[in-house]
Chain A
Amino acid sequence: MTLAFTVPPPNSSFLGRLDPRWKLAALVCFAAVAATLHTLRVAAVALAAALLLALLARLPPRWFLQRLGTAALFFLLFVLPLPWLLDGNGPSWTWGPLHLSRRGIESALLLTAKAITLVTLFLTAQATAPLEATLKAAHALRIPALLVQLGLLSYRYVFVFAEELRRLRIALRVRGYRNRARWHSYRTAGHLAGTLLVRGCERAERVAQAMRCRGFDGQFRALNTFATHPVDVVAFVLITASAAALAVWDWLPRLLG
């Protein structure tokens, strides 16, 4: 099992005790608003609110920062070039071939704030309920059953897949294979990927057979173990009201101006 798949320990925080349906609905509303913000100031407040939620959720700092760092590797690829490539009417600075614009810097900061907000909300949801509970909550919120089932099966088999990859890598190493920038390594990586795909395909067939043998007819069914308490509704209203306030703050000047 690799570190990337390590789930945080059971969470007994305030957010961890909320009904997963209300929590998921509230976090999705907040994320949807955060993703559509236009002004840096409002995005910074949204980020602060997301970090406050993460704090309330008592996310293990190391676990949180490691995952945020991994996500940052992807979004920084898109964000870092913006100050140098995006030009506008505002101030800009030129040093030889390098051109830096204020609009570019603001756009980069806005995107960064929004990305960190979304990753923080996602990690908060992940850390405060087991994934299967979150997916079942999604099913209860009328997310298509096919997507929920795909999510559950992917979550179940990603570990089996990782274990298979680990065994294949060991098999390569004990036969003297080392990753180097040469044709043989690229071919081997291709064969490895092919082997995993073929095995995955065969396994999918066997899993489908096992499901049919236990009466599966294509319809996803789960026991509803959720229960709404007043605190769930209060938390939902607070989070969605905050999201609505941010949306109004962000859009109102545009609508009025």
Chain B
Amino acid sequence: MGVDRRKFLKLAGITALGTAAAPAAKVLAKEDLDFTVSEKLLHFFAKPEGFLPGEALTATRWAMVVNVRSLDHEIAEACREACHKVHNVPHIENPKHEIKWIWEEEYHNALPNQEHEFVDEKIKDLPFLVLCNHCYEPPCVRVCPTRATFKRETDGIVIMDMHRCIGCRFCMAACPFGARSFNWVDPRKYLPEDEQNMEYPTRMPGVVEKCNFCAERLAEGQIPRCVEVAQELSKEKGREPALVFGDLDDPDSEVRNLLRSRYSLRRKPALGTNPNVYYIV
């Protein structure tokens, strides 16, 4: 039995319609999508619901400039206090157990081998705010056996993964700046409940900690707490900002402009760790 031309054309038409309709139906029925939608395209399908982070501050090489002549003990102390408060850093009197992320140092300790006997007396009294230098070549990262401390590839911040730290303290031996503290005692004993920042964790005994350049604040679009406080207070006192934060890889950033216009020093440059914290004296 032969198929006549009329029947053949009908069948061909229906088949063509069917093959065209199948993928269209698939797209229309959203559940059947068998590819994952990239985050950037998500808004085509549905408006994202829920948490939207603030515009994060990003850079490829974060750095800080400390303008020491704008500092005084009051500003330095305010910076230390503000930093330690947001990061739940306990205040422990015993110097063997103390934890510090940012603190005051004297000139000859902050910039050793760069002092001489005829330096201006005023400079000797200035509070040098010191913190983790977030070195470009961090020795702490090289020695960490668990890679608990690592340099973030994206922005150069040297950061700690507290979940991985086994408390071996190699990093403390490796750091030439003493920027790391070990939790010999339970830090919560020294953190009264009403002084805890509930949005940030504490630490447990047996881990090392240090400044994280406020990575958690940068993610929400805020500059580091110490810089914020120092700039407020410097403004009140009518001085140049005592702390400046920015991206070294951006030639127009505030830090690069400062480093271009003023002469700056770094701590222990001969060790080759390449600190990202600069001092204008």
Determine if chain A interacts with chain B. no
Residues of chain A having any CB pair with chain B under 8 Å = none
